[in-house]
């Protein structure tokens, strides 16, 4: 466990700040060998504002939940855990947006339980930038991908430059574990729940609120590649399906909002993916039915 105490972590926080300025959103499942690295990297953050750690364990079958409980005992004012009694991911429920909805903070940061941050000033620098630049909705940094053999030099990283609002809306890939962004999630678009690559949908959604800033001088975060990773462990045909369903969700979302140019772009992506695997037509029909059900439920509220 990190050597800092709760008092040391909160030493520079304002005494009169009741609500957190930022929520760190961490989802975890069977990460007993990794979760300490993640939590320690959160607790080493040096900030002049209050932050909270929302960590959600999706009914892990290993020792992950017990490790989290020990951290909660040591940092009860900072760590707010959620322990699922049944695995929700297997039911198609996205844990990350559930954490978004539990947060009342104006800023959010993401890091899954098998990754971790390297720079103790990461959050302070990102929030400082967003406070000074209201035309930006999010910030992000670089990553270093690694596995048990060491650094992966050919890992396809996300954006390492500033992005316009339109480029965000086009779902430009970003290094998810490095992001810090404004909390605009009072309501989650129903199409998001259909998108396997939920982070790409989030960037596209946030693009309606501003631009993206790449901060190069923050130390790279560490992205762990292992056999249990949701994306990197999947076979090529499964990844293709995930891209297709995500593109369908984004196409439907932007069509509903009358963002016709963006919708056309995602429609072209769908067509390109179909050319790679013509048998995906059945998947498109199935996904479209799911989206219609989601929209019907959403509009009937």
Tens of pLDDT, residue by residue over 64-94, are 999 999 999 999 999 999 999 998 888 777 7
Task: Put the strands of the sheet holding 79-83 in their side by side order.
Answer: 79-83, 51-57, 22-28, 107-110, 180-182, 136-140, 211-214
How far apart, in whole angstroms, are the C-alpha atoms of residue 144 and residue 151?
7
If we measure between CA atoms, which residue out of 124, 138, 129 comes closest to residue 45?
Answer: 124
How far apart, in whole angstroms, are the C-alpha atoms of residue 96 and residue 107?
14
Token digits of residue 273: 């993916």
pLDDT, average across residues 117-139: 98
User: Other CB atoms closer than 10 Å to residue 292's CB: what's the count?
Assistant: 11
Task: Put the strands of the sheet holding 150-151 in their side by side order.
Answer: 150-151, 143-147, 221-224
Q: Where are the domains of the chain?
A: 6-224, 236-291
How far apart, in whole angstroms, are the C-alpha atoms of residue 123 and residue 76?
20
Q: Are 54 and 133 in contact (CB under 8 A)?
A: no
Task: Supply the pLDDT for residue 68.
Answer: 98
**Residue pLDDT, tens place only, 228-269:** 655 554 577 788 888 989 999 999 999 999 999 999 999 999
Q: Picking from 7-16, 269-278, 292-301, which range would have the lowest pLDDT averaged per residue?
A: 292-301
Q: Which CATH architecture has domain 6-224?
A: Alpha-Beta Complex (3.90)
Q: Is 278 exposed, middle or buried (0-12, 13-18, 19+ CB in 10 A)?
A: exposed
299 or 115, greater pLDDT: 115
Provide the H-helix boundaries in 144-299.
165-169, 198-206, 236-256, 260-276, 281-299
pLDDT band, residue 278 (cuts 50/70/90) = low
The DSSP bridge partners found for residue 221 are 143
Task: Supply the pLDDT for residue 234.
Answer: 56
Separation in Å, CA 268 to CA 103, 248, 262, 271, 272: 36, 11, 10, 5, 6
If we measure between CA atoms, which residue out of 40, 183, 205 comes closest to residue 103?
Answer: 183
How far apart, in whole angstroms, are the C-alpha atoms of residue 210 and residue 110?
19
How far apart, in whole angstroms, are the C-alpha atoms of residue 183 and residue 22?
9
Q: Is 86 exposed, middle or buried (0-12, 13-18, 19+ CB in 10 A)?
A: exposed
How confident is the prediction for the chain on average, in pLDDT? 91
How far apart, in whole angstroms, are the C-alpha atoms of residue 105 and residue 23?
6
Q: Picking from 32-36, 220-224, 289-293, which range would have the lowest pLDDT averaged per residue?
A: 289-293
If we measure between CA atoms, which residue out of 216, 199, 276 comes closest to residue 244?
Answer: 276
How far apart, in whole angstroms, are the C-alpha atoms of residue 28 and residue 114?
7
């Amino acid at each position: 466990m990190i050597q800092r105490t709760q008092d040391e972590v909160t030493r520079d926080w304002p005494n009169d700040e009741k609500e957190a300025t930022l929520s760190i959103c961490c989802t975890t499942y069977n990460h007993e060998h990794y979760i300490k690295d993640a939590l320690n990297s959160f607790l080493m953050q040096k900030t002049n504002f209050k932050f909270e750690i929302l960590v959600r364990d999706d009914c892990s079958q290993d020792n992950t939940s017990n490790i989290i409980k020990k951290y909660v005992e040591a940092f009860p004012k900072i760590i707010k855990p959620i322990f699922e009694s049944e695995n929700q991911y297997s039911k198609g429920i996205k844990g990350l947006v559930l954490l978004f909805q539990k947060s009342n903070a104006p800023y959010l940061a993401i890091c899954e339980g098998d990754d971790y941050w390297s720079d103790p000033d990461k959050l302070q620098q990102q929030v400082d930038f967003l406070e000074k630049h209201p035309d930006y909705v999010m910030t992000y940094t670089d990553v270093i991908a690694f596995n048990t053999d060491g650094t992966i030099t050919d890992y396809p990283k996300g954006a390492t430059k500033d992005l316009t609002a339109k480029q965000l809306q086009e779902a430009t890939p970003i290094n998810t574990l490095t992001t810090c962004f404004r909390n605009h999630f009072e309501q989650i678009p129903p199409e998001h729940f259909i998108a396997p690559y939920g982070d790409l949908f989030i960037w596209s959604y946030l693009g309606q609120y501003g631009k993206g800033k790449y901060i190069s001088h923050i130390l790279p975060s560490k992205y762990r590649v292992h056999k249990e990773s949701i994306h990197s462990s999947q076979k090529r045909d499964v990844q293709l399906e995930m891209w297709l369903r995500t593109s369908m969700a984004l196409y439907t979302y932007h069509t509903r909002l009358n963002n016709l140019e963006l919708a056309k772009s995602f429609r072209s992506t769908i067509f390109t993916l179909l050319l790679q695997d013509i048998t995906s037509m059945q998947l498109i029909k199935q996904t479209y039915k799911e989206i219609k059900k989601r929209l019907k439920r959403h509009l009937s509220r």
